């Protein structure tokens, strides 16, 4: 939806790059607009921009028209991936607030959030590699829970688990951090670094999560164990029990990989968001000591879905076309620069990496 700049608001999500008088965009597509970015667009005399019909808060966005018009546009959106995710996040946020007030977890409501998203992943599996664009400091906790459920299910499907196991992973990933509802809100929303005492309080959340779900009959025991184990690490460096390798069940290993992947790609108060491709490399380097190798490889195989011919943006801002992908290094294919035609093997040019897939 093309919108005049004077009608754009904070929270709008760009669907196309914003250009000025340069060949490279001043703001990339999928960026969530802030006051600072809107000011930049005004400075560069940008007249209009293409944005989603849904804002980052899950609400419809109407441009010089009715709210009903925007809702119709959302319903007609063929992919629906982003809209379903943002809506799911807002529903999860309401559930989280209810847990903070003392209400129990309603597993039916969590299923109603996750099942439509699993259907979207089925039709658009590469969507999980764009979730990092939607992370905001304000709603990170809720975005993270829904995203971890989706990514856990994606890994499970790549590992050829059956449909029931995949649904359980989606629920377990989404519920892994429900214990955060029992943590002091002043710690949850602190804008500066946590001290050691506050970090110890945060580490209680996986045990609290288990207590909140332990009597839910629709969750398998293996899923519940996976929830309490999702911060354990294969080398014993995790918490709450410092379990090692075989003592961590498959659900715990998968949710741990999904949790780390989304957290490392997301915008945080203390760190800018990072490319999923860069994060995957970091996890691969670390996987032999801490993370489940098959789970990390499953994420890597997802990148292979971006076939030869896909257009990508490199870390230096240049646009390139993927020419060849090696199974052993899916994040570092052979690419051709669009502007110069130069062919670069990213495996041999470690200073460069793929920032994102354009199309």
Q: What is the pLDDT of residue 75?
A: 46
Sheet holding 354-357, edge to edge: 343-345, 329-337, 319-326, 311-314, 354-357
Q: Which of 41, 111, 124 is nearest to 83 (CA)?
A: 124
Q: Which of 104, 99, 169 is nearest to 141 (CA)?
A: 99
Q: What is the pLDDT of residue 137?
A: 80
Distance CA 42, CA 342 (A): 35
pTM for the model stands at 0.83
Q: How far is CA 81 from CA 119, 224, 257, in A?
A: 9, 28, 22
Q: What is the pLDDT of residue 334?
A: 92
Span between the terminal Cα atoms of the chain, in Å: 19
Distance CA 20, CA 32 (A): 18
**Which residue ranges in the chain fall short of pLDDT 50?**
65-79
252: left (phi over 0), alpha (psi -120 to 50) or beta: alpha
Q: Which residues contact 196 (CB under 8 A, 6 or more apart)?
A: none
> Do residues 50 and 27 lie in contact, with contact meaning Cβ atoms separated by under 8 Å?
no
């Amino acid at each position: 939806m093309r919108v005049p700049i004077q009608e754009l608001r904070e929270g709008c999500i760009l669907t196309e790059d914003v250009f000025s008088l340069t060949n490279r965009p001043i703001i990339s597509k999928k960026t969530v607009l802030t006051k600072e970015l809107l000011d930049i667009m005004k400075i560069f005399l940008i007249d209009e921009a293409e944005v989603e019909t849904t804002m980052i808060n899950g609400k419809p966005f109407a441009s010089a028209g009715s709210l009903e018009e925007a809702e119709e546009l959302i319903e007609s959106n063929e992919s629906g991936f982003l809209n379903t995710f943002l809506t799911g996040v807002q529903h999860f946020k309401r559930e989280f607030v209810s847990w903070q007030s003392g209400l129990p977890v309603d597993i039916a409501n969590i299923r109603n959030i996750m099942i439509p998203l699993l259907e979207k992943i089925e039709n658009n599996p590469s969507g999980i590699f764009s979730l990092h664009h939607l992370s905001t400091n304000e709603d990170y906790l809720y975005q993270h829970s829904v995203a971890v459920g989706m990514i856990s299910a994606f890994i499970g499907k790549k590992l050829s688990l059956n449909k029931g196991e995949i649904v359980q992973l989606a629920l377990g990933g989404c519920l892994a951090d429900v214990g955060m509802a029992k943590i002091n809100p002043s710690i949850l929303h602190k804008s500066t670094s946590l001290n050691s005492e506050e970090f110890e309080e945060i580490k209680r959340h996986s045990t609290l999560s288990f207590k909140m779900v332990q009597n839910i009959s629709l969750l398998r025991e293996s899923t519940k164990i996976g929830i309490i184990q999702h911060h354990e690490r294969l080398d014993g460096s995790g918490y709450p029990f410092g379990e090692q390798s075989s003592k961590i069940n498959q659900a715990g290993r998968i949710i741990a990989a999904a949790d780390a992947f989304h957290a490392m790609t997301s915008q945080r108060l203390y760190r800018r968001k990072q490319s999923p491709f860069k994060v995957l490399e970091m996890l691969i380097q670390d996987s032999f000591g801490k993370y489940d190798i098959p789970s990390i490889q499953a994420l890597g195989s997802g990148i292979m879905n971006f076939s030869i011919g896909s257009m990508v943006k490199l870390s230096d801002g240049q646009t390139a076309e993927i020419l060849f992908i090696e199974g052993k290094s899916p994040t570092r294919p052979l690419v051709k620069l669009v502007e110069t035609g130069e062919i670069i093997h990213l495996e041999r040019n470690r200073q460069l990496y793929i920032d994102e897939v354009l199309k």
